[in-house]
Amino acid sequence: MTEIVINDERAKRNVVVLIAAQAILGCQMPMIFVIGGLAGGMLTGNPCFATLPISLIVFGSMTTAPWLSVVMQKRGRKVGFFIGAIAGALGAAVSAYGLYVSSFNTFLIGSFLSGIYMSAQGFYRFAATDIASKLFRPKAISYVMAGGLISAIIGPQLNKIVQDASVIPFFGSYVAVVCLNLTGMFLFLLLSFPKVTSSQAIVVAPPPPRSYTKLLSDPRILVSVICGMVGYSLMNLVMTSTPLAVVGCGFTKNNANDIVSAHVVAMFLPSFFTGHLITRFGVEKIIAIGLLILTAAGLVALNDVQLPNFFLALVLIGVGWNFSFIGATTLLANSHAKHERGRVEGLNDAIVFGLVTIASLASGGLMNCTGGSVIEGWAAVNYAMTPFLILAGTALLWLTLIKNKSTQLQRQAANIREKA
């Protein structure tokens, strides 16, 4: 058994590559999330299932995470990232074919395959920490997430150009996604991880990874999973319904693209300083601030359905997601041993994207099948955030109390040793 050597210089070079990957390949996610529900609504006769394609993307990500994490643990990050990009290209191609033949079922298959890319992209943040020191980890995660800022700007604007380029609505968008994957995947050849020499081998092998039950009984891991899944699922719940709500309230598809673009910018722009804030103030405080911002977003969305409200609510959702999700990722990265990496990452993303799948599916049902109008459906989406915010807030408070009690006991033990 060997141990990975900490090398912040090499970690920084990997971060640059991963930022570029987020920027180029990551363009496809805001593009697909803008048009997925609209295309689904066009292909299916039941508006309650309009967001099912997006749900299938997230479901694909959820079911991919456990086995993809094992592949990367055994074969390396590069192999996993190439699998993701190839699957992204294939998924977009199948989706385009589904649009061409007007087949909702084919479109759903393509959406599921696109979820494999989404899962691989989710591991970019973990790859940034593989050989990073504990001090550099939150910054590495934050910088890689910041690469999404470029995709947030390019993706929706590219969508404006290509979504109506064909007589088949949205066909051009999926062709563009194929091209992004096939060209962007060569970036992963630039990733560099040190080869472990025999001098770096350890004599005693580490114990086997803890079982899933034992991992989730660790308060830090449990709370990081809860906060990560709540932050991500609520962001997805609201973002999935936003294009439907915007268009349903009489605004244009380009308005929807601009709002989603502003939202994705808000998701990633804070990443330039989130890692520094975590280092300075502590991860629990940053997660708590993220949850409060998500709460504020719901209140803004419920206040009115004018364009400024849509813009401000989605910007707040983006910032709240950034703080809560990067915070949860940092907490998770510091809560397990190296040899447990594959199991913990796979478990975390399976649970997180499991709830995100439910949220994206529920989003369409709440939006189109509750109440008698678009406004009532949009209100139902935002009211649905409440119990999950309470869950995450309670879990974070519990962890803080445990941490404070542990600190107090350590101080008492130190005082006793001094007196002795």
Average pLDDT of the chain is 85
Q: For the chain, what is the domain count?
A: 1
Condensed to tens digits (0 to 9), the pLDDT of residues 80-124 reads 999 999 999 999 999 999 999 999 999 999 999 999 999 999 888
Secondary structure (3-state) at 313? helix
| Cα distances (angstroms) measured from residue 356 to each of 190, 239, 353, 359 | 31, 11, 5, 5
* Gap between the Cα atoms of 144 and 342, Å rounded: 20
> What is the percent of the chain with per-residue pLDDT over 70, rounded to a whole number?
94
200 is a domain residue: no
199 is a domain residue: no
For residue 127, give both structure tokens: 């790859």
Direct distance between the N- and C-terminal alpha carbons of the chain, in angstroms, rounded to an integer: 42
Residues 6+ apart with CB under 8 A from 284: 327, 331, 396, 399, 400, 403
Place of tokens 């939150």: 138
Secondary structure (3-state) at 269? coil
The Cβ of residue 362 has, within 10 Å, a number of other Cβ atoms equal to 20
Condensed to tens digits (0 to 9), the pLDDT of residues 190-238 reads 988 765 444 444 445 567 778 888 888 899 999 999 999 999 999 989 9
pLDDT at 143 over 90: no
* Gap between the Cα atoms of 325 and 12, Å rounded: 21
* Gap between the Cα atoms of 407 and 172, Å rounded: 57
Place of tokens 């405080």: 285
Cross-strand bridge partners of residue 2: 201
From the DSSP assignment, how many helices (H) and strands (E) are in the chain? 18, 0
User: pLDDT-based confidence at 270, cuts 50/70/90?
Assistant: confident
For residues 415 and 141, the model is more confident at 141
Secondary structure (3-state) at 31? helix
pLDDT at 150 over 60: yes
* Gap between the Cα atoms of 329 and 334, Å rounded: 9
Condensed to tens digits (0 to 9), the pLDDT of residues 49-58 reads 777 888 889 8
Dihedral, CA of residue 374, residue 376, residue 381 and residue 387, to nearest 10: 180
pLDDT at 8 over 90: no
368 is a domain residue: yes
> What does the radius of gyration of the chain's CA atoms come to, in whole angstroms?
22
For residue 307, give both structure tokens: 């364009």
User: Residue 320: which of 382, 231, 384, 233 has the closest Cα?
Assistant: 231
pLDDT at 42 over 80: yes
Condensed to tens digits (0 to 9), the pLDDT of residues 353-407 reads 888 888 877 887 888 777 678 889 999 999 999 999 999 999 999 999 988 887 7
204 is a domain residue: no
For residues 338 and 112, the model is more confident at 112
What's the CATH code of the domain at 222?
A: 1.20.1250.20
The whole model's pTM is what? 0.73
pLDDT score recorded for residue 203: 44
Angle separating helix axes 28-43 and 171-184, nearest 10 degrees: 150
pLDDT score recorded for residue 4: 52
Residues 6+ apart with CB under 8 A from 274: 138, 142, 145, 286, 322, 323, 326, 327
What is the domain extent for residue 346?
Answer: 8-193+209-419
For residues 245 and 339, the model is more confident at 245
pLDDT at 1 over 50: no
162 is a domain residue: yes
| Phi, psi for residue 201 in degrees, rounded to 5 | -75, 150
203 is a domain residue: no
For residue 204, give both structure tokens: 């005693």
pLDDT score recorded for residue 309: 94
316 is a domain residue: yes
For residues 323-336, give the mean pLDDT. Answer: 88
Angle separating helix axes 307-333 and 137-146, nearest 10 degrees: 150
